[in-house]
Copies of this chain bind each other. A is one copy, B any other.
Amino acid sequence: MEDRYPECWLEHRVSYGETDAMGVVYHAEYIHFFERSRGELCRTCGLPYADIEAGGFMLPVKEVHCLYRSPARYDDLICIFVRVSEIRKASVRFEYAIYDASRTRLLCEGMTLHAFVDRSGRPVAIPGWIREVLDGSRAAPASL
């Protein structure tokens, strides 16, 4: 049941270093915003990405797609929505939608696809203790 898949919001303040000479946020920075929200999602699920790596797994990005709808500017507070959108045997897909501070104006939407690999970089099946967090079947630990 996909609708159980975890999701969350992350707020982010646009820095000067994220802008370019057009006076708006440089397009590659949105890929960083995706990553920030993905890390936040893992953390809120009780599975910080650092723990996944400590457990011997990495999730390298295999594909990125991004549609730019409206520009963000310096000092804007932006709101990044992220959710797990698909879990396969050895890969996971996240979807993103970035809004302005009022969460009404869509700035950007996109997705990233990640492989599961071990420390040597070989693709591996997603282990159960990670899968049950990503698919929302195991609640985040109470301590969080």
Cβ contact within 8 Å between A31 and B39: no
Contacts of A74 in B (CB 8 A): 21, 49-50
In the bound complex, CA of A48 to CA of B77 (Å): 13
Shortest distance from the beta carbon of A112 to any chain B beta carbon, whole Å: 8
Q: How many chain copies? A: 4
The one of B23, B36, B48, B71 in contact with A15, judged by C-beta atoms closer than 8 angstroms, is B36
Contacts of A60 in B (CB 8 A): 22, 24, 27, 68, 71
Shortest distance from the beta carbon of A30 to any chain B beta carbon, whole Å: 8
Please give the number of chain A residues whose Cβ is less than 8 angstroms from any Cβ of chain B in the complex: 38
Contacts of A23 in B (CB 8 A): 21
Q: Which of A16, A48, A67, A73 has the most CB of B within 10 A?
A: A16
Q: Which of A15, A26, A63 has the most CB of B within 10 A?
A: A26
Cβ contact within 8 Å between B15 and A39: yes
The one of B29, B50, B63 in contact with A75, judged by C-beta atoms closer than 8 angstroms, is B50
Cβ contact within 8 Å between A61 and B50: no
Cβ contact within 8 Å between B36 and A13: yes
Nearest B residue to A33 via CB reads: B15
- Say if the beta carbon of A144 comes within 8 Å of chain B: no
